[in-house]
Every structure is written in C-alpha cells, then in structure tokens.
C-alpha cells in the first residue's frame, strides 16, 4: 500500500442526492458545484471519505478505506427521525473531527510510517493538521491546494533580533498567494512530471514559507498553465 515508503491518503467529502424523505442522513446540503439548472441545496446525504492513493497501471487510483455520514447540527438538534442511529440521537461531529478520527484509525495499522493526507483547501488547515500532529507526531503531513488569498510570510531569522522577549514566529510579510504567483511566473522552471499516464512538461516555481493557518513552515509550489495557475503546499 505504500508509495515510495509513504502512505498516501486522499480526503474529501461528497453529496449523494436522494428523493426519499426518510432516508438516513439526508438534509438540504449546499452544493457549490451545482449548475444553473440545479438546486443549490439538494436533499442529499453528505459523506466524508478517506481512501488509499496508489498508482495502478500508470494512473493514480483511490481505494476507499473509511467513511462517515456528516449530520448537520441543526438537523440533530431538531431530533429528525432520519438523523437517529438505532433510534437514538447521535452526537454532532464536524467534518474535520470525522476526518481526524478516520485517519488515526488507519494510522494505527502503519506504525512508524510517514502518512501524507492529500486534500483540498477546505480540509487543509490547522483544524485537521494540529490534532493529527498531536496524536501521530511528525509522521503525518498535509499536501493540499492553497487559497489564492492566503497570506504568506518568510522564515524568521534565528537570533537576528536583540529585542527582549520571545523570538518571532514569522518573518516579513511576502504577500498573498496570488501576488507571489504573479511575481514568480517569470522565474518558473520546466519539469518533466509523470502526469495522466505519461511524462509531461510542467512549469513551476517553489519556495519555503510560513503559513499562519498551520503555524509552521511549508513548501509552496506554484504550477503555471497557459492561462491560469494553481498553488499546492506540503508540510513534509
């Protein structure tokens, strides 16, 4: 199950639209990907899922490992019949709490193995990272998309300040992720990356910065396409 000696785990959530009014876990869930002719709040189940990422025949595949039904607190407080398990009202858990619980359960079977959680920017924050680091230590890392408006800071210089008190946790403000993308585009290098089943040329630039959302240094990689760019960060 390991990839280059590391366990790669994908984390995401999805909605499962339904029509029956008494189906377990259903409520009106916001769908950010809804088209113009679709409801923004469909009647659906909301599921948080983790899966094993592994290259199979030249392409990444995801094998589901565990899932949790996300039950909105409003629906639980309303004591809706379709929010009960064996007739009993369940305790509310956030999606991040559910994700942490599932990852820890899987990690118990891979003691001493580095685990990389691959997720989108919604999950890629300290609400996920801090409790995982507390429980699993430095064996767990995040690989996530970075929001364009996230502010980045330089690494603080150790021993550079003679002022009394604690040393600085963050260096100078570098700018937002979007501002740095515009500044670094001209300095991007070309890399040959195995992508979608074959090696392709990718223009990218990377730098180690500090993130206040995680309170630790991360490596940010800006990937430049013809008309747009994306930013990805990793804590390993």
Three-point CA angle 90, 120, 128, nearest 5°? 50
Mean pLDDT of the region 155-169: 73
pLDDT reported for residue 33: 86
Mean pLDDT of the region 214-225: 94
160 pLDDT more than 60: no
45 and 26 in contact (C-beta within 8 Å)? yes
pLDDT reported for residue 76: 93
The CA distance from 43 to 19, in Å, is: 7
> Mind listing the pLDDT tens digit for each residue in 56-101?
988 899 999 999 999 999 999 998 889 998 888 899 999 999 999 9
- The full DSSP string for 123-167 is T-SHHHHHHHHHHHGGGEEEEEE--TT-EEEPPPPTT---SSSSP
The CA distance from 25 to 47, in Å, is: 9
Query: Regarding predicted confidence, which is higher, 165 or 174?
Result: 174
pLDDT reported for residue 162: 66
The CA distance from 183 to 187, in Å, is: 8
pLDDT reported for residue 75: 92
Q: What percent of the chain has pLDDT over 70?
A: 97
> Mind listing the pLDDT tens digit for each residue in 93-121?
999 999 999 999 999 999 899 999 999 99
Residue 218 tokens read as 């991360």
Mean pLDDT of the region 151-176: 82
Mean pLDDT of the region 4-10: 95
For the chain, which residues make up each domain, given as ranges? 1-144, 146-236
Inter-CA distances, 129 with 21, 83, 125, 135, Å: 36, 28, 6, 10
pLDDT reported for residue 205: 97
40 and 151 in contact (C-beta within 8 Å)? no
């Amino acid at each position: 199950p390991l990839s280059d000696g590391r366990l790669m785990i994908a984390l995401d959530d999805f909605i499962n639209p339904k029509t029956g009014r008494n189906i377990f876990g259903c409520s009106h869930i916001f769908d950010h990907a809804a088209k113009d002719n679709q409801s923004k709040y469909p009647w659906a189940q909301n599921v948080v899922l983790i899966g094993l990422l592994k290259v199979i025949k030249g392409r990444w595949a995801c094998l589901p490992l565990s899932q949790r039904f996300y039950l909105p607190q409003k629906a639980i407080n309303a004591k809706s019949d379709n929010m009960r398990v064996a007739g009993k009202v369940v305790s509310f858990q956030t999606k991040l709490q559910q994700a942490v619980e599932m990852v820890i359960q899987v990690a118990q079977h891979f003691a001493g193995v580095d685990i990389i959680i691959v997720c989108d920017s919604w999950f890629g924050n300290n609400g996920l990272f801090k409790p995982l680091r507390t429980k699993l230590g430095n064996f767990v890392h995040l690989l996530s998309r970075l929001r364009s408006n996230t502010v980045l800071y330089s690494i603080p210089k150790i021993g550079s300040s003679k002022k009394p008190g604690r040393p600085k946790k963050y260096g100078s403000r570098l700018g937002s992720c979007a501002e740095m993308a515009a500044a670094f585009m001209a300095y991007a290098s070309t890399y040959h990356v195995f992508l979608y089943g074959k090696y392709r040329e990718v223009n990218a630039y990377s730098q180690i910065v500090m993130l206040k959302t995680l309170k630790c240094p991360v490596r940010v990689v800006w990937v430049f396409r013809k008309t747009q760019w994306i930013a990805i960060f990793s804590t390993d």
